[in-house]
Structure 1
Amino acid sequence: MNAADGTGIVDEDWSAWETALAQFSAASGLVVSAYDAQGRRRAGPFLQSRLSELLAASTLWHDDGDGTRFEQALASRAAQEGQASAAFCDELCVMAVPLTLFDEVYGAVVYGWTFSRFTSGMACERIARQLDLSGARLWTQARLESPVSPSRMASHTGLLRTLIDSNTRQKEAIARLNELNRMREVFLATVSHEMRTPLSAISLRLDTLLLSKLDDPVRLRRELGAMMRHVSQEARMVEDLIDAAQTRNGQLAMQPEDVSLLRILRDALSTVEPRAAAKGVALMVASLEQADVLVRGDPQRLQQLFWNLLSNAVKFTEAGGEVGVEVSAGAGMHRVTVSDTGQGIAEQFLPEVFGAFNKQQAQNAEGLGLGLFIARHIVELHGGTIAVESAGAGKGAAFTVSLPALQPEP
């Protein structure tokens, strides 16, 4: 939901505001309107007094009326300042408070249009001339209504803020439920599609073999090898689902020990080297034979982390491209950067890279999009950080993992 531009609140939501603000107007006797972030009146004006009805008989609240422009300016100020007040023609008190959703301002409520003190005939005449009303009639009506003192207006403001807070909490709860439902739908659609793919391939190969004479050992070995790859793919997805579930509930298994970061990287590289060679992607690795770089961590989880980063780098790099690994040892933190010259990441997608079920569809034809989500949590469980940089689509990407250095015994 994009609340900041005013378009994220649908008509039904403004209709709900109409009911709430009409009740507030009836309880306070004030004129009340609601504006969106573009300055369009979306509810009101709600009128309760004879004075406000007399003012409404003029052009005051027409789309291009003086009152509408006055309220729009006040609503804009409230969005910046949190609350705003002003006096129309130096006499009629008008106030505004912002409307927010998830801390983003999407509009404002403007209220008031009352005298804060007993006015004069000259003041009413001045207002009447600007609105093309009868000054005598306005003065007569003004004398019949009690002014609203600043302390009383403050009480009305407190009541309005309570009403707004209540409605805002309800809207945010509904928005979160809608987002959870959307994520559940994405989860089910992604899992069902991705896990069906290798199963369908296995089933097709088995059907083909069963219809054949099974007298070609070379073909049998080839087909069984392909099925084993599909089984491995399916097993990885199941493991990712289990790891993601354990990550969310804080139960991801960890068995920390003193480990060599360079050994972890060498093992992860040996796993992806065959795939890189088959694809024609060069692995540019700075020397891993330097003085040992030690960290405190789970060796299997760390290898899972770097295998994931290296595997993604190879996957998203075309033949002839390069994948680089650079280790930078530090007194407090050790850093490992895995970079590639592949398809890169568009700027608007960078904040979403480490989310669950986020996939770069252009080349990621397999997997659930959980690898980087799990990788981020593995790094965080080790007290480290992971960051991504990319100059844009087609310009490669670089992932930098920072892990606390193992301090030597005194």
Structure 2
Amino acid sequence: MSGTVSGEWRRLGDGVAELLPRPLDPVKSIKLKLAILMLCSGGVAFGFFRFKIGWLPPRTTLTAVVIALITSQFLAHGITRPLREMTAAAKRMAHGDYTLRVRASSRDEVGQLAEAFNQMAADLAAADRQRRDLIANVSHELRTPITALHAVLENLVDGVSQPDPATLRTALAQTERLTLLVSELLDLSSIEAGAFPLDREDLPIAPLLADVVAEAEVMTAALGRGVRFRTDVLPGAARVYADRARLHQVLLNLLDNAARHGPAGGEVRLAVRASQGQVVIDVEDDGPGIPLAERAQVFDRFTRGGRTPGGGTGLGLAISRWVVDLHGGTIAVADPGSRIRVVLPGR
């Protein structure tokens, strides 16, 4: 109740403040505004003294005015310095330089504004780095299949190679790689823009896993790595409340990642269990695992393991993290480092 009353008084005060005149808005300098304020307040005070006790001696009056003006200008310098620094930093930001910071030593509103400005500058710098990295990574990822496809088609046109099934399969593989990359980029863009709706339903987990494993086996067979898949659904984890298509995408990404980075001829294990009202999904391969120092980066965009020469696009785990987050769950590298664990809310 008290919070509601205080909020109403605050809104009333804000409304009254909006109605009050702002006669000093045309003045461009805060120092000059303070000088005008001192003169006006001093004039009112001297007028009151004149009315009550008679006019003060001229020398005393002049001395008081000069001291007041000097004091106001001295104090105004400390007030306006952060504002001038923010103006200079904002101008440099307009040209792409986010390195300048404002000294935020005061604890008043100007100091709070300076701290917020510094945080904004740091966030903009991080966003700019991510943008540059994204452009560089996308350019690299697009260049690789386009260059390979161009070479295949050029050889066909020049008669160096014949349009036999093997050559056409090579060209088809590059177009499929391009299609996958573009599709994942669109998914990532939709997720970050908040335009990634979930159609949740009460899903039986076993049929979903069977579909995912069947598709993963086809994808792995195309890689020629001879990886086997094994699923294990423990009692109590028979159902999950999730978006079927998006959860399918997450699990397929994890199985594909494990098949690519695990040893050829190895086994990928997919285990599902219930724990404290949640559904825990573990995907584990026989590889050496992800080093502890690299685990925090594996879910970043365009981060790929270096254990196999034919990696994916580097977007699968980033998309998986976003999808799991949208479901209110978590995804992380678990011990041993060759295990990815997804935890989703129960029904």
Partner of 2:227: 281
In the alignment, which of 336, 340, 343 is matched to residue 399 of structure 1? 340
Partner of 1:296: 241
Equivalent residue pairs, number: 250
Tell me if the contact between 1:388 and 1:400 (Cα under 8 Å) persists in the aligned partners: yes
Partner of 1:232: 176
Partner of 2:330: 385
Unpaired runs of at least 5, structure 2: 1-73, 77-102
C-alpha distance after superposition, 1:305-328 (max 9, x if no partner)? 100001111111122443211111
Partner of 2:51: none
Quote the Cα distance in structure 1 between the aligned partners of 2:251 and 2:143. 27
Mapping of residues 34-113 of structure 1, within 5 Å: none
Structure 2 CA distance for partners of 1:281 and 1:163, relative to 1, 3 Å: same
Once structures 1 and 2 are overlaid, which stretch shifts more, 367-376 or 237-246? 367-376
Partner of 1:311: 256
SS in 2 for 1:279: coil
Partner of 1:245: 189
Q: How high is the TM-score relative to the length of structure 2?
A: 0.62
In the alignment, which of 281, 288, 291 is matched to residue 336 of structure 1? 281
Tell me if the contact between 1:243 and 1:374 (Cα under 8 Å) persists in the aligned partners: yes
Following superposition, the deviation at residue 276 of structure 1 comes to 4.2
Partner of 1:192: 139
Tell me if the contact between 1:338 and 1:400 (Cα under 8 Å) persists in the aligned partners: yes
Unpaired runs of at least 5, structure 1: 1-25, 29-106, 110-158
Partner of 1:181: 128
Structure 2 CA distance for partners of 1:366 and 1:320, relative to 1, 3 Å: closer
SS in 2 for 1:203: helix
Following superposition, the deviation at residue 201 of structure 1 comes to 1.0
Partner of 1:322: 267
Instruction: Report the residue type matching 1:174 in the other structure.
Output: A
C-alpha distance after superposition, 1:265-301 (max 9, x if no partner)? 1111112224546214343433x59788222322211
Q: How high is the TM-score relative to the length of structure 1?
A: 0.53
Following superposition, the deviation at residue 205 of structure 1 comes to 0.7
Once structures 1 and 2 are overlaid, which stretch shifts more, 172-181 or 269-278? 269-278
Mapping of residues 207-218 of structure 1, within 5 Å: 207-212=154-159
Structure 2 CA distance for partners of 1:405 and 1:364, relative to 1, 3 Å: farther
Once structures 1 and 2 are overlaid, which stretch shifts more, 263-272 or 241-250? 263-272
SS in 1 for 2:164: helix
SS in 1 for 2:339: strand
Once structures 1 and 2 are overlaid, which stretch shifts more, 379-388 or 303-312? 379-388
C-alpha distance after superposition, 1:16-53 (max 9, x if no partner)? xxxxxxxxxx759xxxxxxxxxxxxxxxxxxxxxxxxx
Following superposition, the deviation at residue 385 of structure 1 comes to 2.4
Quote the Cα distance in structure 1 between the aligned partners of 2:202 and 2:110. 56
In the alignment, which of 194, 202, 220 is matched to residue 149 of structure 2? 202
Tell me if 1:263 matches 2:207.
Answer: yes
Instruction: Report the residue type matching 2:324 in the other structure.
Output: V
Quote the Cα distance in structure 2 between the aligned partners of 1:186 and 1:235. 21
Quote the Cα distance in structure 1 between the aligned partners of 2:110 and 2:309. 48
Tell me if the contact between 1:194 and 1:366 (Cα under 8 Å) persists in the aligned partners: no
Percent identity for Structure 1 against Structure 2: 30
Tell me if the contact between 2:237 and 2:272 (Cα under 8 Å) persists in the aligned partners: no
In the alignment, which of 370, 384, 389 is matched to residue 315 of structure 2? 370
Instruction: Report the residue type matching 2:227 in the other structure.
Output: V
Partner of 1:348: 293
Give me the CA root mean square deviation: 3.3
Task: Tell me which protein shows more helix as a share of its residues.
Answer: 2
Instruction: Report the residue type matching 2:315 in the other structure.
Output: L
Task: Tell me which protein shows more strand as a share of its residues.
Answer: 1
Quote the Cα distance in structure 2 between the aligned partners of 1:383 and 1:167. 35
Tell me if the contact between 1:283 and 1:322 (Cα under 8 Å) persists in the aligned partners: yes
